[in-house]
Amino acid sequence: VLTLAPLVSGVIARGEAIVQQRTGPRVRQPYFDIVKLLGKETVLPGPAGFLFRAAPYVSFAGYATVPLLIPVLTTYGLPLGYMGDILGGGLILGGAGFAISIAAIDSGSPYAQLGSSRLRTFGALNEPTVIFVVFVVALTTHTDLPYVLGATLRASTVEVVRPSHLLIIAAFFMLVLNETGRIPVGSHGGTLEFGQIDEGRVSEHSGPGLAFLRWGSSVKQLVLYTIFANVLLAPWGLASSGRLDLVVVAIALLAGKALAIGVVVIVIECSFAKLRLYKLPEFTVSSFMLAVLAVVIFLFQPGFGDLRLTVFGAAATVTAVFVLLLELGMLRSQDVWEQLGLYAVGSAVVAALAIATAASGHGNGSLYILAAVTIALKALLFPIGIRFVLRRLEADPRVPSTIGVPSALLIAVALAAFAFVVIRPIHIGTIAALPLSALPVAVGGVLVAFLLMVLRPYAPSQLLGFLILENAVSVASLVIAPGLPIILALLLLFDLLIGVLVFVVLVQYLAIERTAVRTDMLDRLTG
């Protein structure tokens, strides 16, 4: 891990540069940096004491210990594996971060202190997320040793696609982004002081101290990626014994997984802007909410009987959760173009579910037609058409919510949990248990769509609320009624088309008569 970590950092930096059409640093650059820094002398700031000098080594030791506790390469615990559970690992990571923060304060530099205080402020919100993630792990496995969770997932793959587990994955991924200081939270390699959180703290260090801090931070990044990949997402391909060939395969796979995550991170870094600083709590709160929802869902998930893994079931739950997450994203978004984009992605996912359903032998071939029509209408025609109309009307793209994002998300999570409580006692037909667990998620999606309509007093957003409502219903229909005759499904879509046309006509009327597409001005008719 220690040797691999800088490589991952280097690859991400290089990949990002390539996407941004720069040449970028060499992949091995982090190694050179570390070696170079090790050879330099240390310059201490005036007020610094022993804490400042000790911090790099303490934190590096901390980061280097954690890999012993988590399944990096092997399925069985290393000799020390049972010394600490996930919380223990978290504690050590936190302790290492704490040492750096203390050192930053000790340095007396305002930048370093600012970075440190920012990190603490936002980091405080991360801890409840970690705790709730651990709750779900504990509920699933009755322990919180990372090895055991990995083993449980290997034993029954079906656990991965349970809605609660999918939500945990999403929450933890947001946490990883946050903890490693990636966009949209911080900018990793940036030199601009305003954007710095993680980097700000180390700005006073130099020489070998800085080398260890850099190295330590890339180790931390890899450790988090490893937990994400080997514990939560895909705990396969680990060496089950100490044989050399297995270990080599495991190393290669670990590198592959870490790089795959790195690619996702690159895509996110390059396609989103950094959030404004005071928006950051929204981000952490979102990940916390997802973790809470996961726990609630786990507690209330219906006893549908035996869970058997099928492609259809997995696709159904993944799609349902994904659509729900996109809806939450729309709830957070304050920009109508962004909402349109999210809607288009959601529709494409629904179409993908239709294809997966047909491919796995449920329903019949006509679902391919349905998928094609879905993509044509909902992923292309509607978003592009609505965008065109709004552009022509020169509508203001900002659609602020009437209440704050965290409260909106709280309500949304409560609604989604409510859906689970309601659906729980209901038994439907002969559908297998796994796809059925996607049904409450879809119903939750319907409720969240209502919430979006209520919270946005803007005609385009309300129209989109109606459309995502329809998307959630589509997921439900694919899940519990995949055999619905194609002619009916097409009729429904045709009806939707007419409905959207009428909506658009009305939006135009509104824009022409009222010079705005706000709907909270519509308050004449009461009583």
Partner 1 sequence: MSWALIALGLVPLIAAALSLTCDWRLARAATAVAGLVSLGLAIAVAIAVEHGRTLQAADGWVRLDSLGAVFLLATGLLYAVAGVYSVGYLHADEQTRDFARFARRYFALLNLFGWSMLLVPLAADFGTLWVTVELTTVISALLVATDRTDAALEASWKYVLIASSGLGIALLAIIVLYATGTHALGDAYLPRFARLIAHAHGSSIDAVRLAFVLAVVGFGTKVGFVPMHTWLPDAHSEAPAPVSALLSGSLLAGAFYAILRFFQVAVAAGERSFAEHVLIVFGALSLIVASLFVLRQSNYKRLLAYSSIEHMGVIALGIGFGAPLAVAGALLHVITHASAKGLAFFGAGSLLRGYDTKEIAEVTGAGTAMPWTGPMFLAAALALCGLPLSGVFRSEFQIVCGGFAEPQYVGVTLLLVFVNLAFFGILWHAGRMVLTPPAGSGVARGEASAWLVAGMLGCLFVVIALGVHLPGDLSALLTNAGHRLASPAR
- Buried residues in 110-136 as b, exposed as e (16+ CB within 10 A): ebbbbbbbbbeebbebbeebbebbbbb
Contact call for residues 196 and 190 (beta carbons, < 8 A): yes
Q: Residue 30 Cβ, how far from partner 1 at the closest point, in Å?
A: 52
Q: Residue 128 CA to chain centroid, in angstroms?
A: 16
Q: Residue 377 Cβ, how far from partner 1 at the closest point, in Å?
A: 15
d(CA 352, CA 365): 14
CA separation, residue 40 to residues 145, 216, 296 (Å): 41, 18, 53
* Three-class secondary structure of residue 239 per DSSP: strand
* Nearer residue to partner 1 within complex by CB, 155 or 525: 525
Q: Residue 163 Cβ, how far from partner 1 at the closest point, in Å?
A: 18
Reading the block at residue 516, the tokens are 């705005």
What letter would DSSP give residue 458? Answer: B
Q: Residue 8 Cβ, how far from partner 1 at the closest point, in Å?
A: 45
Residues in the chain: 527
State the residues that interact with partner 1 by CB under 8 A.
362-364, 425-431, 443, 446, 449-450, 453, 459, 462, 466, 469-470, 473, 476-477, 480-485, 488, 491-492, 494-495, 498-499, 501-503, 505-506, 509-510, 513-514, 519, 522-525, 527
* Nearer residue to partner 1 within complex by CB, 172 or 466: 466
* Nearer residue to partner 1 within complex by CB, 189 or 361: 361
Q: Residue 185 Cβ, how far from partner 1 at the closest point, in Å?
A: 35
Q: Residue 341 Cβ, how far from partner 1 at the closest point, in Å?
A: 22
**Measuring CA to CA, which residue among 277, 275, 266, 6 is closest to residue 115?**
277
* Nearer residue to partner 1 within complex by CB, 143 or 477: 477
* Nearer residue to partner 1 within complex by CB, 4 or 492: 492
* Nearer residue to partner 1 within complex by CB, 257 or 362: 362
- The backbone torsions φ and ψ at residue 518, rounded to the nearest 5 degrees and listed phi first, read -75, 145
Give 265: exposed, middle or buried? Use CB within 10 Å, 0-12, 13-18, 19+. Answer: buried
What letter would DSSP give residue 278? Answer: G
* Nearer residue to partner 1 within complex by CB, 405 or 475: 475
Q: Residue 281 Cβ, how far from partner 1 at the closest point, in Å?
A: 31
